Amino acid sequence: MPVGTLASVKSLTTEQLKSLITHHSSPITDPQIILNNTYHLMLRPGIDLLEKLGGVHKFMSWDRAVLSDSGGFQVFSLAAIRKVREEGVEFRSHIDGSTHFLSPETSIDIQTRMGVDIAMAFDECPAYGLSRAEVETSLELTHRWARRSLAARSSRLAGLFGIVQGGIYTDLRRRSVEEIAALDFDGVAIGGISVGEPKGEMFEVVNFTAPLLPEDKPRYLMGVGTPEDLLDGVAAGIDMFDCVMPTRNARNGTLFTSSGKVAIKNAKYADDTRPLDERCGCVTCSTVSRAYLRHLFLNGEIAALVYNTIHNVWFYLDLMRGVRQAIALNSFGSFRETYLSRLQES
């Protein structure tokens, strides 16, 4: 799911996002769902104005699905000052220092008023490096908040997912799966991943936790990751992903290709007339050269961000299209092996 934190996938208009259309008669790869963020949108433009304007779909002219983060992660990672108590979290905005309060009830109410298709339960995301006792205390709070999130749900909310926490402690992850899976959520997410832990520890948790999740509900890995991470996640049994990496890296000039990453500012691309990725059919790869992309990026042209973002988002969506096709053909194992081998050879 491309991340549209502020009801916008950075550097793209809604129409560009809807139709990441390749040149002439090439296939279309377009996202069916994007992610918005409760924390950011409650601060600006504010939920009252957003609801007055018809909700996030009308606000951003998006006629497809929207999943919203509950705001929990941002409260714990961005808010300047926060006080956590049983009722919820009081925090100061990172924008202007104003005081706000989020609880399971207010988070679900805001997401409902936003008009999203899938909301997330309000949770506490423990930082990496906490002791087992600290993570366990946080976990129990997340479970109580999960039950309150469900109780706050109204008929206006189409879908609501619960979140499994537990840090790097597998026994706590198992307990969290048992608690969250026993509740009437429409899907289950693995949270508290990619928060500073080494990649090896991250996938130890994912590979342990994913098989424990209900088979009849969507499995969502939050905030992950690289193309390799997506393939490893799918292999573990994950269905849904979101990550800022394709858009953030695009703005920083790092582009994903079928043969690995390209840092487009490097001097070796100054006279490179090849497309960014000869295997890619996006607008960027169909129309402009590496040399031109480098020129735009070095000169701070906005067009560089647009071209780069179109490519990276298309690349991720096309990778997942290939994954779905391989699964349908019962050939995901060989698809993954071939893809990873090509990256290692480059």
Q: How far apart are the first and last CA of the chain?
A: 27
Tokens of 105: 């009830």
User: Does the bond joining 97 to the residue before it have cis omega, within 30 degrees of 0?
Assistant: no
Active site residue 229: no
- 120 DSSP β-pair partners: 161
Q: Phi then psi for 147, rounded to 5 degrees?
A: -65, -40
Active-site entry in 69, 229, 232, 277: 69
Tokens of 89: 């979290």
Tokens of 263: 């840092």
User: Does the bond joining 45 to the residue before it have cis omega, within 30 degrees of 0?
Assistant: yes
Active site residue 216: no
- Is residue 173 within 8 A of residue 166, CB to CB? The reply is yes
Among residues 7, 15, 12, 11, the alpha carbon closest in space to that of 47 is found at 7
Torsion angle, CA of 323/240/65/330, rounded to 10 degrees? Answer: 30
Tokens of 296: 């735009």
Among residues 18, 65, 71, the alpha carbon closest in space to that of 40 is found at 71
Tokens of 344: 């290692």
| Planar angle of CA 186, 190, 196, nearest 5 degrees | 155
Active-site entry in 123, 229, 232, 242: 242
For 186, other C-beta atoms within 10 Å of its C-beta total 15
- Is residue 319 within 8 A of residue 230, CB to CB? The reply is yes
* Residues designated as active site: 69, 242
